Amino acid sequence: MEKSLADLLDLSHFYGKNNEFVIGGGGNTSWKDDNYLYVKASGTQLGSLTEQGLIKLDRHLLDELFSCAFPEESFQRDQMILGGLMKSCIDNERNLRPSVETPLHHLIRYKYVIHTHPTRINAMLCSMDCRNIIKKNFPDDVLYVEYIDPGYVLFKKLESEISAYRTRFSKDPGIILVQNHGVFISADTCDEVRRLYDQCLNIVNGLNSYSFDINPIALDENTLEVLPAIRMLLSESTIKILKVRTNPLISHFTVDQKMAEMVSLPFTPDNIVYCKALPLYVGTNESPAAIIEEFQVKLAQYRADYGSSPKIILIKGIGLIAADESIKMVDILLDVFEDLMKISYLSQAFGGPHFLTAEQISFIENWESENYRHNMSRGSASGKVMNKIIIVTGAAQGFGSGIAEDLFRQGANIVIADLNEAKGMTLAAELNAGAKNNRAIFINTDVSEASSVKNMITKTVAEFGGLDAFISNAGILHAGGLEEMTPEIFELMTKVNYTGYFLGAKYASAVLKSQSRFRKGYFTDIIQINSKSGLRGSKKNFTYAGGKFGGVGLTQSFALELIPFQIKVNSICPGNFFDGPLWSDPERGLFVQYLRSGKVPDAKSVEDVKQFYENQVPAGRGCTVADVMKAIYYVMEQEYETGQAIPVTGGQVMLN
């Protein structure tokens, strides 16, 4: 890679990884020489930009393109320009689109051009006194341009302004400030780019002493009931993911209707592209029922007025809620709208907020180029459980981790609920490293303690907005006959294997019931990972078998109680998972335990014990995660089976 391109990537990462400069897929960067322009592809992220995310264009072909006459009609003009830009690309086998602002990067003569939307600078650019403040406090050679629709119109405006600037200063502007948009910093060296950025920030910070607090605060007690209901009400053709964020800044703008109006319109094109033009505000906070009722009324009116559902909901006492089809986009929405709140708050130092007009909003809403960038940033993926929210207890290792990994590969958002924080956090990080649109999170959970299980459910709802499946997998096993088993071990195993299933079903079903009230025909699942030991007795293993037998009884009883709420409850009863730590751990695994306890006659080694159990399976092998997953997907996909204990035993246990 050329050093100049490596330096461009360093600059891109420096500003792109900082939310104070760039949020979502916003911002763009470039480097040029006399012949070629390298510019960020539309929809790629500045913070993680690679050489493959840069597009090389022939500058001579760009000169020819912009010497042409273009139609007045904006759509035809944009399509003609897009076609010309694509023809100017060199070695673009992936058919990536150059950034929509490529013409501006070509126009400016400096080698490096960095365009971002810094929060504190935009607070000035999105204020009522913007022009006067810049004229009074910035050097004369800073170019200020009033807002104009982005794309070709902005390019032509800047072409004219820069031409006049060159006549006056005999150089190109290093700093261009565009009202309600952002800043273009241009220079021939990276050091000069950084110096000019720092100069802008120092001036703005010197004029604005306002500060805000974005440290998280505790969730309102109504949140757990409200979010799942709103999630279902917003889920028309596709199920949505919701996430709530609350802090003092958000509370400031959600305290009443008057304050909500201070963030009720967009400041920049990105606000519209990601969050839609208007949020929905709910001012009631008396009870979950009252909040949901007001939301339903306002949602119906919003859909009638705008023909779509809101992506941003502001609720007094609860906070900022974002809704979309993936957690990836939800996080972007939260960041973009919180940035809008910061800009509104900081703009008070500059005469108050200056929003985009109805005409400007309409242009962005219908602008194909920005819609393309938005869709590119969404990514694409598919799977059997795409974007579902699934808790798996005991998921840090063994069967649980295998289940979580497979569900994640199939598109689910996974909660790894376990006591083993080190392994749970490691697994979550490994899954997220390859994620496209979904996410895995770890929640430290003791399934035998009610408060811990309730906390698990609360955090899940806050993170994703609801729940689609609860998989009770956590369990422990200490083998031993009547002589060996102590009351303490018996009680511990019962709490984890039996009571843990009850607690999970209790608190998970509350969320699933809430969802069912607001979306008829949407089925959810509670699935217990049981065992073949729950289908027949197990010699010198009665504590484990008793808990699993009891689990089947819970499954059948829960199924009868919950099916009116479209909640299916089933147990999966795997055979022996010989490859997992439950069996194979060299110190505490069942092979070792059974060898020591003499459960297997004449066994002299662990291999003898393993062979003994494999010989009992007609299929000749132990159960695998893949075997269990087929059963899990079956019970989730069908809508007419509940209360079942489904054996996955290779024929070792056959039901009558």
Least confident among 95-99, 193-197, 331-335, 625-629: 95-99
Q: What is the mean pLDDT of residues 76-96?
A: 88
Statement: residue 326 has pLDDT above 80: yes
Q: What is the identity of the amino acid at 515?
A: Q
By residue count, the chain amounts to: 656
CA nearest neighbour of 470 among 432, 500, 492 = 500
Label residue 99 by pLDDT band (50, 70, 90).
confident
Least confident among 225-234, 418-427, 535-544: 535-544
Evaluate the CA torsion angle 645, 522, 219, 250 in order and state its sign: positive
Higher-scoring residue by pLDDT: 187, 376: 187
Global confidence as pTM: 0.89
Helices (H), ranges, 442-521:
450-464, 487-494, 500-516
Statement: residue 395 has pLDDT above 80: yes
Tell me the C-alpha distance between 604 and 586, whole Å: 15
Strands 28-32, 36-40: pairing is antiparallel
Tell me the C-alpha distance between 247 and 464, whole Å: 18
Domain 389-576+617-648: state its class: alpha beta
Using alpha carbons, list the distances in angstroms from residue 352 to 41, 123, 134, 320, 355.
35, 9, 15, 22, 10
Contact 249, 236 (CB under 8 A): no
**pLDDT by residue (tens digit) across 469-489?**
999 998 777 767 787 878 888
Statement: residue 272 has pLDDT above 60: yes
Predicted local distance difference test score (pLDDT) of residue 235: 93
Predicted local distance difference test score (pLDDT) of residue 363: 87
Statement: residue 227 has pLDDT above 80: yes
Tell me the C-alpha distance between 444 and 39, whole Å: 44
420 CB burial (10 A radius; 0-12, 13-18, 19+)? middle
Contact 40, 8 (CB under 8 A): no
Predicted local distance difference test score (pLDDT) of residue 44: 87
Compute φ and ψ for 327, nearest 5 degrees.
-65, -30
Q: Provide the 10 A C-beta neighbour count for residue 135.
A: 11
Q: Where in the chain is the domain with CATH 3.40.225.10?
A: 3-207, 223-378
Q: What is the identity of the amino acid at 580?
A: G
Tell me the C-alpha distance between 580 and 575, whole Å: 12
Predicted local distance difference test score (pLDDT) of residue 28: 92
Q: Which of 197, 501, 544, 613 is catalytic?
A: 544
Which residues, in sequence order, are bridge partners of residue 569?
A: 526
Tell me the C-alpha distance between 387 and 89, whole Å: 36
Q: What is the mean pLDDT of residues 498-519?
A: 95
Q: Give the pair of three-digit tokens for residue 599.
A: 């459960």
Statement: residue 378 has pLDDT above 90: no
CA nearest neighbour of 571 among 590, 593, 549 = 549
Label residue 656 by pLDDT band (50, 70, 90).
confident
**pLDDT by residue (tens digit) across 354-374?**
999 999 999 888 875 455 444
Predicted local distance difference test score (pLDDT) of residue 377: 53
Q: What is the identity of the amino acid at 587?
A: E
Architecture of domain 3-207: 3-Layer(aba) Sandwich (3.40)
Kindly state the percentage of the chain with pLDDT values over 70. 97
Tell me the C-alpha distance between 548 and 420, whole Å: 23
Q: What average pLDDT does the structure give for the chain? A: 91
Statement: residue 578 has pLDDT above 90: no
Least confident among 11-20, 557-566, 586-595: 586-595
Label residue 596 by pLDDT band (50, 70, 90).
confident
Label residue 375 by pLDDT band (50, 70, 90).
low
Predicted local distance difference test score (pLDDT) of residue 174: 97
Statement: residue 398 has pLDDT above 60: yes
Contact 26, 80 (CB under 8 A): no
HEC profile for 31-56? EECCCEEEEEECCCCHHHCCHHHEEE
Q: What is the mean pLDDT of residues 62-88?
A: 88
Least confident among 152-156, 205-209, 373-377, 462-466: 373-377
- Hey, what CATH topology would domain 223-378 get? L-fuculose-1-phosphate Aldolase (3.40.225)
Q: What is the mean pLDDT of residues 195-205?
A: 96
Q: What is the mean pLDDT of residues 538-545?
A: 75
Q: What is the mean pLDDT of residues 516-527?
A: 95
Predicted local distance difference test score (pLDDT) of residue 116: 95
Q: Is 36 tagged catalytic?
A: no
Q: What is the mean pLDDT of residues 372-383?
A: 58
Q: What is the identity of the amino acid at 513?
A: K
Statement: residue 534 has pLDDT above 80: no
Higher-scoring residue by pLDDT: 503, 548: 503
